[in-house]
């Protein structure tokens, strides 16, 4: 039991590292690649790896137009959030992006109230959501107070990261309520759609990219494709199976802190007091909602 618990925490740590490192890696990738091509290459690498594992296990891509309609939705909620994060990271410090993205579970709770029968809001979850949005206001307060001045270059990218968090919330709900096919089939199918869509748009809008294999930008995208996309999906699926989705949700408490540490130590970013306060309040709000999820719906 003790070894099993240690393994669960090891997997959780890997998830935080894989997902949290995306923001810093995107900064390096943006030196030579556009947001569209970062997303396209990342999803294509993820698809190749996951599809190879799918074939190795003797499985095939799912059939039926209903399955593929669902996979189209999931693929778009991979492509669009990836793109919004890349675009927002052009203008924002990675620390701010990580904190904003950390509010995702609150959007999931709101969406689940309307879409999942057994996930209704109760009083405790409601107060957790309120705390989370108070933290969000604290984080954005300076830009909101000067919205008529020259702060749109900060406000719009922050809104993009929030929309990405909402997109992932929709994806989490869709993955859990779509028809019963294997998680590897869901991932392979959604990555196929997302990468095909991204590559098509990138080629049409920007033409073929210039790739230098040993360049830091390409290496950053390669790491994101292998670890932040493919390996993260595998770790998440296994951890969900052995420890449950509630345990996996602990990543949202740790990820913003990890992203802030990476941004501060490696990218020499600085945080203002309002931003630290916003992060603390958001994490507290998520903790309250998780406590509320354990209570019977009222």
The string of pLDDT tens digits covering residues 52-67 is 999 999 999 988 888 9
Predicted confidence at residue 245, as pLDDT, reads: 62
Predicted confidence at residue 278, as pLDDT, reads: 79
Q: How far is CA 127 from CA 106, 109, 279, 285, in A?
A: 11, 12, 17, 8
Predicted confidence at residue 3, as pLDDT, reads: 55
Nearest alpha carbon to residue 176 among 73, 80, 262, 284? 73
Predicted confidence at residue 239, as pLDDT, reads: 78
For the chain, first and last CA: distance in Å?
34
Residue of 54 and 246 predicted with greater confidence: 54
pLDDT averaged over the chain? 82
Predicted confidence at residue 141, as pLDDT, reads: 63
Query: Phi, psi (5° rounding) for residue 272?
Result: -85, 165
Query: Is 119's pLDDT higher than 70?
Result: no
Question: Predicted confidence band at 98 (pLDDT cuts at 50, 70, 90)?
Answer: confident
Range in 4-13, 75-84, 108-117, 196-205 the model is least confident about: 108-117
Under 8 Å between Cβ of 177 and 59: no
CA atoms within 13 A on the CB side of 293: 20
Query: Is 136's pLDDT higher than 80?
Result: no
Under 8 Å between Cβ of 184 and 68: no
Each domain of the chain, given as residue ranges in start order, spans 2-293
Predicted confidence at residue 246, as pLDDT, reads: 60
Mean per-residue pLDDT for 153-174? 80
The string of pLDDT tens digits covering residues 207-219 is 998 888 889 999 9
- Give percent of the chain above pLDDT 90: 32
């Amino acid at each position: 039991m003790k070894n099993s618990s240690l393994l669960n925490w090891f997997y959780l740590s890997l998830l935080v590292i894989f997902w949290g490192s995306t923001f810093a890696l995107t900064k390096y990738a943006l030196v030579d690649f556009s947001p569209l091509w970062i997303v396209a290459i990342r999803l294509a690498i993820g698809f190749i790896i996951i599809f190879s594992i799918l074939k190795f296990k003797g499985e095939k891509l799912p059939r039926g137009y209903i399955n593929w309609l669902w996979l189209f939705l999931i693929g778009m909620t991979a492509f669009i959030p990836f793109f919004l994060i890349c675009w927002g990271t052009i203008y924002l410090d990675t620390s701010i992006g990580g904190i904003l993205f950390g509010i995702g579970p609150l959007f999931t709770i709101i969406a689940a109230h309307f879409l999942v029968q057994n996930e209704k809001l109760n009083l405790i979850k409601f107060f957790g959501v309120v705390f989370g949005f108070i933290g969000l206001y604290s984080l954005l307060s300076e830009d909101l107070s000067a919205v008529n001045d020259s702060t749109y270059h900060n406000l719009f990218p922050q809104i993009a990261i929030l929309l990405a968090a909402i997109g992932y919330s929709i994806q989490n709900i869709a993955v859990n309520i779509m028809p019963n096919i294997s998680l590897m089939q869901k991932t392979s199918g959604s990555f196929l759609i997302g990468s095909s869509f991204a590559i098509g748009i990138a080629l049409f809008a920007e033409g073929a990219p210039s790739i230098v294999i040993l360049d830091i930008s390409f290496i950053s995208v390669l790491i994101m494709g292998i670890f932040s996309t493919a390996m993260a999906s595998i770790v998440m699926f296994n951890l969900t199976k052995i420890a449950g989705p509630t345990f996996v949700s602990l990543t949202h408490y740790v990820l913003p802190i990890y992203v802030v540490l990476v941004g501060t130590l490696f990218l020499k970013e600085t945080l203002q007091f309002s931003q630290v306060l916003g992060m603390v309040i958001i994490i507290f709000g998520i903790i309250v909602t998780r406590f509320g999820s354990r209570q019977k719906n009222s």
